[in-house]
């Protein structure tokens, strides 16, 4: 954050002095007022994102079939945290045992899981969109989700445990990615990006066929229901175990992507520019793609295939904060987590029986994406 704000200060500073360039008719000066107001806006973006996140998390924990007042939620959470540090009994017990159970055992893991999945998918989408210089790319479009789904279904069919789930999802997600990259090579240097996107469609179709084959083979009474429900994408069965299972791969992948946030700016200019600026585009790309595959596999392992989040949220974030990944990446992460929490709250509130998450993200995501696409044509967020 320190770098960001100093960059913003600097930008406003250089504005007043640099009037020499625009005086000869080739260009007009930047408007200092607009510049300083935009940099001031940039500084408040991330705190604002965190604020929205907290508000949505609170609503998400309060809402549902059993309403828990937000002030009680805060008390329960504060009591738990203070208990961790040995300050037991700091908060007067005003809540019922039932409320504590609902908040701590049911809704908190669910909110955490929704945040993790949404944040990972959205961050992965933002990263891929920069790498491929294409706002239409997301983890599900380049085949990673399909590969990871197949890995998950394979593990479910074989009846293995949770750790295998992450391993299987990651292994096949990576295999799908490798397939896509190999197909990308067919296109040569000029068409590499197009071939990777087309390759993603081919690989996704292939792995989806394998998934269909596995469901066809599965026992219709014991295995099939769990496979189908898992494939639809759901975090209904959230637990702290699942949160931990997802946290490890997501945190590792997210750290890599966030650490390379400046590199992503350079890579988003294209391979030629990146190489000219001293960045090896191929090595950076493979590293970042692996990080995204790891994050995606982590989410697929706990929540199944949740589509559209990685496409819509980074797009929205880019329209709001601009293409600088120093801000875009954390903003995508926070907004993605918030978005999925909101969707999850809706999915268990709007009907008496729960809707699987993947259905809602697609129903909401598709039309929102069309609107964003139309708007970004005007703003030309990416070339």
Binding site residues, other proteins, CB under 8 A: 3, 6-7, 10-12, 14-15, 17-22, 24-27, 29-32, 34-35, 38-39, 133, 259-263, 265-266, 268-270, 272-273, 275-279, 284, 322-324, 326, 379-383
Give 15 or 99: the residue with its C-beta nearer to other proteins. 15
| CB of 75 or CB of 261, closer to other proteins | 261
- d(C-alpha 17, C-alpha 35), whole Å: 14
Cα–Cα distance between 267 and 191 in angstroms, integer?
17
44 vs 375: CA distance, rounded Å: 23
Question: Cβ 265 to other proteins, closest distance in Å?
Answer: 6
Residues whose CB falls within 8 Å of the CB of residue 20, separated by 6 or more in sequence, listed in order: none
Handedness of CA 81, 85, 90, 94 (dihedral sign): positive
Residue whose token pair is 């026992």: 219
Give the tokens for residue 337.
């987590």
Q: To which H or E segment does residue 254 belong? A: helix 240-259
Structure tokens given for 380: 């030309």
- Residue 64 and residue 75: Cα distance in Å, rounded? 19
Q: How far is the CB of 377 from other proteins (least distance, A)?
A: 13
Asked whether the beta carbons of 60 and 341 are under 8 A apart, the reply is yes
Q: How far is the CB of 285 from other proteins (least distance, A)?
A: 13
Q: Determine how many CB atoms are found less than 10 A away from the CB of residue 58.
A: 16
The Cα 246–Cα 293 span in angstroms is 13
Instruction: Considering the complex, state which of residue 109 and residue 281 has its C-beta at the smaller distance from other proteins.
Output: 281
Q: From the CB of 314, what's the least distance to other proteins, in Å? A: 13
User: 294 vs 360, which CB is nearer to other proteins?
Assistant: 294
* CA–CA dist 310, 123 (Å, integer): 7
Q: Terminal CA-to-CA distance of the chain, rounded, Å?
A: 27
Other CB atoms within 10 A of residue 2 CB: 6
- H or E stretch at 210: helix 192-217
Distance CA 108, CA 145 (A): 26
Closer by beta carbon to other proteins, 15 or else 344: 15
Q: Quick one: 127 or 301, whose CB is closer to other proteins?
A: 127
Query: Between residues 14 and 101, which has the closer beta carbon with respect to other proteins?
Result: 14
Residue 16 or 87: the one with the smaller Cβ distance to other proteins is 16
Cβ atoms < 10 Å from Cβ of 378: 8
* Closer CB to other proteins, 187 or 270, in the complex: 270
What minimum distance in Å lies between the beta carbon of 261 and other proteins?
Answer: 7
Are the beta carbons of 103 and 68 closer than 8 angstroms? yes
**With respect to other proteins, which residue has the nearer C-beta, 374 or 380?**
380
Contacts of 323 (CB under 8 A, 6+ apart): 265, 268, 381, 382
The minimum distance between CB 44 and other proteins, in angstroms, equals 18
Those residues whose C-beta lies under 8 Å from the C-beta of residue 245, and which sit 6 or more positions away, are: 162, 163, 165, 166, 298, 301, 302
């Amino acid at each position: 954050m320190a770098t960001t704000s100093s960059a913003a200060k600097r930008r406003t500073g250089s504005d007043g002095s640099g009037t020499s360039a625009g005086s000869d008719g080739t260009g007009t000066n930047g408007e200092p007022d607009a510049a300083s107001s935009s940099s001031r806006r940039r500084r408040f973006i991330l705190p604002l994102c965190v604020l929205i996140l907290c508000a949505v998390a609170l609503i998400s924990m309060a809402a549902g079939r059993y309403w828990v007042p937000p002030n009680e939620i805060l008390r329960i959470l504060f009591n738990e945290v203070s208990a961790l540090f040995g300050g037991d009994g700091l908060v007067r017990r005003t809540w019922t045992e039932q409320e504590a159970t609902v908040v701590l055992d049911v809704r908190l893991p669910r909110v955490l899981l929704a945040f993790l999945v949404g944040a990972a998918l959205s961050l992965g989408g933002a990263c891929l969109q920069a790498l491929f210089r294409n706002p239409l790319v997301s983890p599900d479009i380049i085949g990673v989700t399909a590969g990871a789904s197949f890995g998950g279904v394979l593990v479910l069919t074989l009846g293995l445990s949770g750790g295998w789930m992450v391993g299987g999802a990651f292994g096949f997600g990576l295999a799908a990615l490798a397939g896509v990259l190999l197909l990308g090579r067919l296109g040569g240097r000029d068409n590499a990006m197009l071939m990777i996107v087309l390759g993603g469609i081919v690989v996704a179709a292939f792995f989806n066929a394998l998934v269909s084959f596995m469901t066809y083979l599965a026992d219709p009474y014991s295995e099939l229901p769990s496979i189908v429900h898992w494939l639809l994408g759901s975090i209904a069965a959230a637990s702290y175990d699942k949160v931990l299972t997802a946290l490890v791969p997501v945190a590792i992948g997210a750290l890599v992507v966030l650490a390379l946030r400046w590199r992503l700016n350079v890579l988003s200019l294209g391979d030629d520019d990146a190489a000219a600026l001293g960045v090896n585009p191929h090595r950076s790309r493979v590293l970042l793609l692996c990080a995204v595959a790891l994050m995606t596999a982590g989410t697929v392992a706990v929540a199944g295939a949740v589509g559209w989040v990685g496409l819509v949220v980074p797009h929205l974030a880019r329209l709001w904060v601009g293409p600088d990944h120093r801000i875009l990446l954390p903003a995508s992460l926070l907004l993605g987590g918030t978005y999925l929490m909101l969707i999850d709250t809706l999915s268990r509130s709007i009907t008496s029986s729960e809707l699987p998450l993947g259905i809602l993200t697609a129903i909401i995501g598709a039309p929102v994406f069309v609107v964003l696409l139309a708007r970004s044509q005007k703003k030309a967020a990416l070339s």
